[in-house]
Amino acid sequence: MSTAGGAAAPAAIRDEVQQQAAEWLTILMSGEASEAEYAAWQRWRGADPEHERAWQHIEAVTQRYKGVYRDGAQRTAAAQALASAGPPASGKRRQLLAWLGVAAGGGLLAAQTDAWQGARALRADYRTVTGERREVALDDGSVLNLNTGSAVNVRFDGERRLIELLAGEILVVSGRGAGSIAPLEVATREGLVRALGTRFAVRQQEGYSTVDVFESAVEIRPRDGGGTPLLLAAGRGVAFSRHALDAPHAIDAYADAWSRGQLIVDDVTLGDFLADLARYRPGVIDCAPEVAQLRLSGVFPLADTQRILNMLPHSLPVQVRSRTRYWVTVEPAP
């Protein structure tokens, strides 16, 4: 194919090279790449002009943002957001490939939005990295637990007690310090959650927020929705967008187990289990479609995600292959 000026358009980058470049981006953005891995990345770039073209495409996209990797490789706020926010593995892969330009046109816009949100999260009052959990005591007596890859700003004054959830998930036990009369509220990109003397969790996801209530109740008001706010009682959860709320549902009995350092599941699919586990581990966990519907139950310690992966072949007909420390595939056993 030729362009309007007669010059041949560059050939499309092969799928396998796209995957390799996405894998290198995963390793570099983890923040834990070794000297040997940096050297191997440079050798990969020099081994084939197509490799370098794929990487140049990444750099062309990321140059619009500030931030630098060591040795001149771009490290953007978007890349750090991908490393710490911890969406499901399939979502991570789509976002990585979006940086290569192989996703739909909307993928780049989503990456730009992630970059802006990621930059805010880096400057947050309180934050956690992938796999980290943190408990914070606030001035009014409230206790705030941050799950993996989470970030919040806290704005307390005489008129308002506001927690702004920028990324991830928090568990809030609301308190009331001496003389405090302002309601405790949690703001997400989709709306506002007001505590009514309660213990509850709020999670910021891609395009929507979720709330689980463990004690008392909360009021939820979508940002662009009208009408009366939803009163959500203990034992119930709900997802909502900027415009509307889904139907409330009963929450999982173990929904807050992460605050105790555990991942507890009861007859869930392996695909869903690995998507949740991926939030606590840098990089990507892929689950082959052939085993995604296998089911498992158990109590798993979040402090050692590698141990959890190593245990899977003992209870399910699967094998765990590590392409790198940051790219793991769970697939059918031989």
Q: Are residues 180 and 206 in the same domain?
A: yes
Average pLDDT, the chain: 80
What is the per-residue pLDDT across 283-319, written as a single tens digit (0 to 9) for each?
889 999 999 999 999 999 999 999 999 999 999 999 9
The answer for 86, left when phi > 0, alpha when psi is -120 to 50, beta otherwise, is: left
Q: Are residues 237 and 319 in the same domain?
A: no
Domain end, chosen from 250, 277, 295, is at 250
Q: What local confidence, expressed as pLDDT, does residue 234 receive?
A: 96
Give dist(CA 255, CA 145) in Å, integer: 14
Q: Are residues 73 and 145 in the same domain?
A: no
At residue 177, does pLDDT exceed 70?
no
Q: Confidence class of residue 242 from pLDDT cuts 50, 70 and 90?
A: very high
* Comparison of pLDDT for 237 and 22, the residue scoring more: 237
Q: What local confidence, expressed as pLDDT, does residue 7 receive?
A: 55
Q: Report yes or no on 129 lying in a domain.
A: no
Q: Confidence class of residue 84 from pLDDT cuts 50, 70 and 90?
A: very low
The total number of structural domains in the chain stands at: 3
Q: What local confidence, expressed as pLDDT, does residue 90 receive?
A: 45
At residue 248, does pLDDT exceed 70?
yes
Cβ of 129: how many Cβ atoms within 10 Å? 16
At residue 191, does pLDDT exceed 60?
yes
Q: Confidence class of residue 71 from pLDDT cuts 50, 70 and 90?
A: very low
Q: Report yes or no on 3 lying in a domain.
A: no
Q: Report yes or no on 28 lying in a domain.
A: yes
At residue 167, does pLDDT exceed 80?
yes
Q: Are residues 183 and 246 in the same domain?
A: yes
Q: What local confidence, expressed as pLDDT, does residue 158 receive?
A: 75
The residues pairing with 196 across neighbouring beta strands, listed in sequence order, are none
Q: What local confidence, expressed as pLDDT, does residue 99 receive?
A: 44
Q: Report yes or no on 53 lying in a domain.
A: yes
Host domain of residue 211: 134-250
Q: Report yes or no on 1 lying in a domain.
A: no
Q: Report yes or no on 206 lying in a domain.
A: yes
Give dist(CA 315, CA 295) in Å, integer: 10
Domain end, chosen from 223, 250, 277, is at 250
Q: Are residues 140 and 234 in the same domain?
A: yes
Q: Are residues 278 and 328 in the same domain?
A: yes
Q: Report yes or no on 188 lying in a domain.
A: yes
The arithmetic mean of pLDDT across residues 201-219, rounded, is 96
What is the per-residue pLDDT across 136-160, written as a single tens digit (0 to 9) for each?
999 889 999 999 999 999 998 878 8
What is the per-residue pLDDT across 260-271, written as a single tens digit (0 to 9) for each?
999 999 999 999
Q: Give all strands (DSSP E) within 157-241, no chain letters.
A: 161-173, 184-187, 191-195, 199-204, 209-215, 217-222, 230-233, 236-240
Cβ of 155: how many Cβ atoms within 10 Å? 12
Q: What local confidence, expressed as pLDDT, does residue 112 receive?
A: 43
CATH code of the domain containing 154: 2.60.120.1440
Give dist(CA 59, CA 41) in Å, integer: 14
Q: What local confidence, expressed as pLDDT, does residue 247 receive?
A: 96
Domain end, chosen from 202, 224, 250, is at 250
Q: Are residues 143 and 198 in the same domain?
A: yes
Q: Are residues 143 and 240 in the same domain?
A: yes
Q: Are residues 206 and 282 in the same domain?
A: no
Q: What local confidence, expressed as pLDDT, does residue 67 receive?
A: 38
Give dist(CA 73, CA 83) in Å, integer: 16
- Find out whether 192 and 201 touch, Cβ atoms under 8 Å: no
Q: Are residues 237 and 277 in the same domain?
A: no
Q: What local confidence, expressed as pLDDT, does residue 60 receive?
A: 66
Q: What proportion of the chain, given as a percentage, has pLDDT over 90? A: 52
CATH code of the domain containing 285: 3.55.50.30
Q: Report yes or no on 25 lying in a domain.
A: yes
What is the per-residue pLDDT across 30-62, written as a single tens digit (0 to 9) for each?
656 677 777 888 888 888 888 888 888 776 655
Q: Are residues 21 and 68 in the same domain?
A: yes
Q: Using alpha carbons only, how large is the chain's radius of gyration in Å?
A: 22
Number of H helices, E strands in the chain: 8, 18
Q: Are residues 153 and 232 in the same domain?
A: yes
Q: What local confidence, expressed as pLDDT, does residue 40 receive?
A: 83
Q: What local confidence, expressed as pLDDT, does residue 316 receive?
A: 97
Ranges 45-59, 101-115, 189-203, 308-322: which has the least confidence = 101-115
* Comparison of pLDDT for 99 and 263, the residue scoring more: 263
Q: What proportion of the chain, given as a percentage, has pLDDT over 70? A: 74
The arithmetic mean of pLDDT across residues 80-102, rounded, is 43
Q: What local confidence, expressed as pLDDT, does residue 268 receive?
A: 96
